Structure 1
């Protein structure tokens, strides 16, 4: 009976993901992937992106630093925090890179969800992260940032991760 319940929950989850994914259409997914590759860059550009993103998060909500005390959240330039930032961005990079592969992105989001379930991420944190991400992307892409595409695809990604 537990297996049946888990299977039903998985089917409901997949149906929800598919329904939400309709809002992040094929053209938007390709646009987000292209813009992400340009903004996130390579090597040290990714470190700089991570520092900028988390500064934007902490500028909106300074109390969130305490959630990251174990990884040097009091200094976003510390090696420990940079490592954490790159792990988080690695998950986002994976999700964005897989946007045009529905089965694979759904599996990746389910995995990320399992990692976040026990962390107790407060609901407002996802909006704060969105604001910070859009600000950081905007500083990299300028007026080329497609906010509509990013909005739809960000919601798709976050809805797949939120517990």
Structure 2
């Protein structure tokens, strides 16, 4: 019984906001979600399909990188850059000063490209469907949601 109480307390702590425990959890689980180069390509395809399915107009933002064909080398390179930026941000969740610097840089890029803030919601929706498929029951939605919000809110420009 004592074990269950401790277990529930830990689950509640991890499920709260994006505090130190949640940051470490998301950081560790992201390695499983994002994994190796083959998994990374697949992750990009799944995420972008989900984003474009939510809002077809989103593709127009990616004309420069052939958003009409997510398998094109140009779009795959773009996908790798976007997910690479997310990878860096997640890896820095436990280092606030460096995270803030990276997010400020990404924010400038998104402002320059005129990326509306609402697209972060589309990305989050896609990620929140993709991550549990890779993690199964280990996925803790509240931790992922709140930690993604930390990253997205640091990048949003409008």
TM tier, smaller: 0.7 to 0.9
TM-score under structure 1 normalisation? 0.84
Deviation at 1:142, TM superposition (A): 2.0
Aligned CA RMSD, in angstroms, stands at 1.3
Structure 2 distance, partners of 1:143, 1:59, is: 26
2:33 corresponds to which of 30, 39, 47: 39
Whether 2:17 is the aligned partner of 1:26: answer no
1:152 corresponds to which of 126, 131, 146: 146
Whether 2:155 is the aligned partner of 1:133: answer no
Query: Alpha-carbon deviations, 1:28-70, whole Å to 9, x = none?
Result: 0000001100000111110111111100101111111111011
1:95 corresponds to which of 76, 89, 100: 89
Deviation at 1:135, TM superposition (A): 1.0
Equivalent position of 2:66 in the other structure:
72
Deviation at 1:158, TM superposition (A): 0.6
Structure 2 distance, partners of 1:143, 1:56, is: 21
Aligned residues: 142
Structure 2 distance, partners of 1:43, 1:105, is: 24
Equivalences for residues 48-87 of structure 1 within 5 A: 48-87=42-81
Deviation at 1:141, TM superposition (A): 1.4
SS at match of 1:75: coil
Query: Alpha-carbon deviations, 1:91-147, whole Å to 9, x = none?
Result: 000000010011111111111111111222122211111001111112211222111
TM-score under structure 2 normalisation? 0.86
Equivalent position of 1:9 in the other structure:
none
